[in-house]
Structure 1
């Protein structure tokens, strides 16, 4: 049987390729620089080809080194999933879990659910990462994240998901605005040239436009904000109207502002909130239990409503 690279050697190579620096790579791997360098040299000897170009100041991967590092990431991710699978058999709700969440959910949801999650799963150690959807999915695919809480629908690649809530949209405007007199504004009532939305890259922008049947007019909104807090300040100053999800309203984002809230009408005036993970992950029972707990917490009081179908069925996207 031919000799094969070790996982440690592949880990060292990926660390150097990602950082192009031996010292930083050694620090990330928690080993000395000499140990890391020796491990990569052993890998090069085993493969019979140079993987790195070394100078006194820089280190760069060769074309072969870059390709092997890309494949090594898949091997390392698969090995981690084998370990996760074995651990989840003993206690699926224990150990570290790296969870991503988007900015239009994280600040409103996390403070609300974390106390209950700590009480329900004291052995589960959550590490949270807030970022936009596309970057979270990239980190999910690379193995940096185990799962993510996203607003759906969104083209998510090879993942599975469970819906945990439906987050209804409401129209927010000043008392002087014409929509303040409409009990349940229809999508056609929301004038496009008056609508304030988040900038491109935030999936809430697309979901709000879809709720108003304005998918084809993504670049025409009057203002593009960087956060929901910015949008509500613009509305309060009479510069237009916006759509806010219920979880943001429940968090008190409008507290102290002289504005009016009206529930949006239409066929689907909401976004779906879901937990997503890699289809190949070995921690599916962990995610099912986490999704069930999130669904319970999000359905309490007057917040986002749990999916109407009752069961939190798993969806697969490819």
Structure 2
């Protein structure tokens, strides 16, 4: 039994297909199949149901897959600690971004990171919070750049910046001439929001509900740009984070008005596993983001 056997087992569970699992592990299908059977013999228990044409794990197999994932995560951390204790910005770094942050900061920070740290290999992943959290737990990502929410409480966090949310209204809206609008003015109004799975949906609606507003259940956007276009079309109003706003107060049929009393905000953080040896790297990443946002 060795680490490679665990990799074969986890790959088979993830791909649910012998050929695809073998390709992911860069071995032939007979090699992977043979090693799985050898592992079963060594353990003295069946991991798969051999009578089925599909890949079906036994109860014991499912339990051992989960344990194998934990072992592989620990092995990765062990290797990371051995390869780099200095926090130097070199080698691979897998970073996850949520869709309401990534598009607005990546164009600013990627060129700077490449300029400052030419030996740093960036691997950038964009997904919703729940998926990113799962990937960070499994060791597939090194850190996340996202809004601090309940799901990230298990991780260490480095605060990067506090981001206010502004009210976006059609340019002909009664608030378009205002410099700011009291959140209580949303009382009784219906607001547009992102779809389920976006942490910004829950955060924005939390502020809106507290003010007495209602969610427009007829529409759920997949992106901030869709929300913006719906506002421009006169379909409603919404809250948008500062980084997603243009420099102009009014642009492309949308007017952006500062929200006050209270000012809705979200905290953007770099999150990482408590046992990671790369806090110095993550601190540098957070500082680079801060510098580029202030530039």
The two structures have a TM-score, normalised by structure 1, of: 0.84
Distance 1:105 1:47 in 2: 46
Say whether the 8 Å CA contact 1:169–1:246 is kept in structure 2: yes
Say whether the 8 Å CA contact 2:130–2:151 is kept in structure 1: no
Q: Residue 198 of structure 1 is aligned with which of 186, 194, 197?
A: 194
Say whether the 8 Å CA contact 2:193–2:216 is kept in structure 1: no
Q: Residue 120 of structure 2 is aligned with which of 112, 116, 124?
A: 124
Mapping for residues 104-183 of structure 1, pairs under 5 Å: 104-183=100-179
Distance 2:214 2:26 in 1: 47
Question: What is the aligned partner in structure 1 of residue 76 from structure 2?
Answer: 80
Residue range with higher mean Cα deviation, 213-222 or 280-289: 213-222
Distance 1:260 1:86, change over 3 A: same
Quote how far apart the aligned CAs of 1:211 are.
Answer: 3.5
Say whether 1:89 aligns with 2:80.
no
Distance 1:33 1:261, change over 3 A: same
Quote how far apart the aligned CAs of 1:184 are.
Answer: 1.4
Question: What is the aligned partner in structure 1 of residue 6 from structure 2?
Answer: 10
Say whether 1:271 aligns with 2:266.
yes
CA RMSD of aligned residues (A): 2.4
SS of structure 2 residue aligned to 1:182: coil
Distance 2:282 2:121 in 1: 14
Distance 1:192 1:276, change over 3 A: farther
Report Cα offsets for 1:59-88 as digits up to 9, x if no partner.
322211111111010000000011111222
Report Cα offsets for 1:248-282 as digits up to 9, x if no partner.
01488x98513322111123422111111111223
Mapping for residues 249-264 of structure 1, pairs under 5 Å: 249-250=245-246, 256-264=251-259
Say whether 1:287 aligns with 2:282.
yes
Say whether the 8 Å CA contact 1:211–1:266 is kept in structure 2: no
Distance 2:2 2:231 in 1: 58
Quote how far apart the aligned CAs of 1:121 are.
Answer: 1.6
Report Cα offsets for 1:217-274 as digits up to 9, x if no partner.
774567432221122222122222221111101488x985133221111234221111
Say whether 1:50 aligns with 2:41.
no
Say whether the 8 Å CA contact 1:92–1:286 is kept in structure 2: yes
| Structure 1 segments unaligned to the other structure (5+ residues) | 301-318
Question: What is the aligned partner in structure 2 of residue 214 from structure 1?
Answer: 210
Distance 1:82 1:62 in 2: 30
Quote how far apart the aligned CAs of 1:157 are.
Answer: 4.5
The two structures have a TM-score, normalised by structure 2, of: 0.90
Say whether the 8 Å CA contact 1:186–1:264 is kept in structure 2: yes
Report Cα offsets for 1:102-143 as digits up to 9, x if no partner.
111111111121111111221111111111111111111122
Report Cα offsets for 1:123-177 as digits up to 9, x if no partner.
1111111111111111111222111111123432421111101111111223332
Distance 1:236 1:62 in 2: 54
| Structure 2 segments unaligned to the other structure (5+ residues) | none
SS of structure 1 residue aligned to 2:85: helix
Say whether the 8 Å CA contact 1:206–1:215 is kept in structure 2: no
Say whether the 8 Å CA contact 2:205–2:215 is kept in structure 1: no
Equivalences, count: 295
Distance 1:36 1:222, change over 3 A: closer
